[in-house]
Amino acid sequence: MNRIFSTFIVTLVIVSGLMAITVMTVAETSQRGGTVVLSYKGNTVPDPDPQLARNIGAETVALMMADPLVRWEEGAVVPVLATSWEMAPDGMSYTFHLRKGVKFHNGVPLTAEAVELNIERIMNPDNAMPAAGRVANVASVEALDGLTLRVNMEKVDPDFPAKMEGVYIIEPGSLEGRDEDNAVAGSGAFRLVADEYVRDQQMVLEKFPDYWGGEPYLDRVVVRLIPDEATAVIELEQGTIDFIEFALTKDVARLEAAGYQPFIFGFINWANVAINLETVTDVALRKAMCYALDSQAIIDGVYAGLGKVQKTLGYPGSWLENTEVGYPYDPEEAKRILDEAGYVDTDGDGIREMNGKNIDLHFPTRSQDEWMRATQLIQQMYLDVGIGTHITIAERMPFYDGVRSGDYDIAWWLQNGTPTPPIAVYSWDSRDYWSMHQQEQPVFQALIEAAESKTDQEKRAVLYKEIQKIFYEQAYGALGMWLKQVHIAAPTLHGMKVGPIGTAYNSHLWWTEAG
């Protein structure tokens, strides 16, 4: 199996390199018309409002319906609705110049005022928007003229343009008086067919002929709710769907050999044991969990080798990768720490107690094959050192929402973040929507905010090293792995590109041989 996947990875690098060429020549080879069907995991299909997207699949749909100002592509921030931007000399504002001739789905033209209202909606804490963390440093927004926007900052934030990748621009007036299942007028290549939207079944998108990037090649995209991975694979092979998000690694080599297209990603995806700091307050217990976690065993046993052990918060290959070494797998050290802290097994049941009460951590998991298997494997690793847990199972979004709201003690957690800064801290940033550790650490938070405001890389590195030192000393989470994940597309689907966190984009260039 390892040899097969080594071949798969090499092939995938070649495929990824050719994909850019395919996109560049799409006008010469593509066919117009047809429908593409995407599978989507969850309890419901994505919300019709792109700004409510809360996972990678939903963000792919959001990108079809509404463009952001910029996109991260090939290691750089590139223009989308903004053609250019500049930072003020003091770093306290950004001026964005918007693209001319852009229309929303309801025919209203794109203006700086519309973008201003979009950002202000996301900034409003009463709205609890998923992208709120991206605009946390914004003080105010002002339209200077019809296509020029100035964003005033509360403090310097050199990464701000990259953060705007996750702010999807919609026509503000289309929000007024709408039902939650009604369409929002976006700026993207596809628009919702409102009368075919069934929240627990499917959503249908039709091409927007007046899209600024050119009329889309496809007529329609159907997003179908298929929670079960095995069912999605069967339908892909039967030709009833064209794309699977987050394919199970056990299926990838076989599907690739049969001619299906794998899209590997994971530059900024990572997995770790998240810890609720409000309920798991003992640092010694948290440190023992760090030492007891065998990340390589999870990579090999669950994810078919598609990962790298995470020893630092800094992204692999970045200027922060080697700033701190994490906990090695050492179950004997975990036992020593627990012994020293007074956790003992007095009744011989294999689970340690404190003050006569068993350690019993709530360990929820998603009802997804790999997620559940990883959780069960970790449960055994912790039991091997005397840490007891009990697993509960939930569907995708109830699980996410439960962890976010604090209904857990520990959880296996896969996540992603913005490409810059190259450090995995967003879920520990109390300003972020997905901050789920339930207890703000003022010193740690202050360092996060101080580091993001530095323009000098060396000064930022000093602060990020301090962040990693505190993270290590306080064992805020058990670092797991930098994870490679895979989407699979039918051989007949062309023109798709997948970004570093797994979102598929450039939907106006997608086309199908089925016609």
pLDDT digits (tens, 9 = 90+) for 198-255: 999 999 999 999 999 999 999 999 999 998 888 999 999 999 999 999 898 889 999 9
Its CATH architecture, for the domain 67-178, is Alpha-Beta Complex (3.90)
Question: Structure pTM?
Answer: 0.81
pLDDT of residue 209: 98
> What CA–CA distance (Å, rounded) separates 236 from 221?
15
Residues carrying CATH 3.90.76.10, the chain: 67-178
Residues carrying CATH 3.10.105.10, the chain: 269-483
CA angle 151, 190, 415 (to 5 degrees): 60
| Beta carbons within 8 Å of 183's beta carbon, 6+ residues apart | 48, 105, 174, 191, 192, 193, 194, 197
pLDDT of residue 317: 81
CA atoms within 13 A on the CB side of 417: 22
Q: Is the domain defined by 1-66+188-265+492-515 classed in CATH 3.40.190.10?
A: yes
C-alpha separations of 203 from 46, 178, 238, 416, 465 in Å: 8, 17, 21, 25, 45
Q: Is the domain defined by 269-483 classed in CATH 3.90.1150.10?
A: no
Helix, strand, coil content of the chain in percent (nearest 5): 35, 25, 40
Contact 370, 484 (CB under 8 A): no
Which DSSP string corresponds to 188-199? SSEEE-GGG-BT
pLDDT of residue 22: 35
User: What mean pLDDT comes out for the span 5-34?
Assistant: 46
Q: Is 494 helix (H, G, I), strand (E, B) or coil?
A: strand
Task: Tell whether the model's pLDDT for residue 37 goes beyond 70.
Answer: yes
> What's the distance, CA 218 to chain centroid?
26
> What CA–CA distance (Å, rounded) separates 200 from 208?
25
Residues carrying CATH 3.40.190.10, the chain: 1-66+188-265+492-515
User: What mean pLDDT comes out for the span 446-471?
Assistant: 89
Contact 275, 287 (CB under 8 A): no
What's the pLDDT tens digit per position in 361-370?
Answer: 999 999 888 9
Task: Tell whether the model's pLDDT for residue 14 goes beyond 50.
Answer: no
pLDDT of residue 419: 77
Q: Is 364 helix (H, G, I), strand (E, B) or coil?
A: strand
pLDDT of residue 11: 33
User: What mean pLDDT comes out for the span 186-195?
Assistant: 96
What's the pLDDT tens digit per position in 134-165?
Answer: 999 999 999 999 999 999 999 999 999 999 99
The average confidence (pLDDT) of the chain is 90
Confidence tier at 179 by pLDDT (50, 70, 90):
confident
pLDDT of residue 18: 32
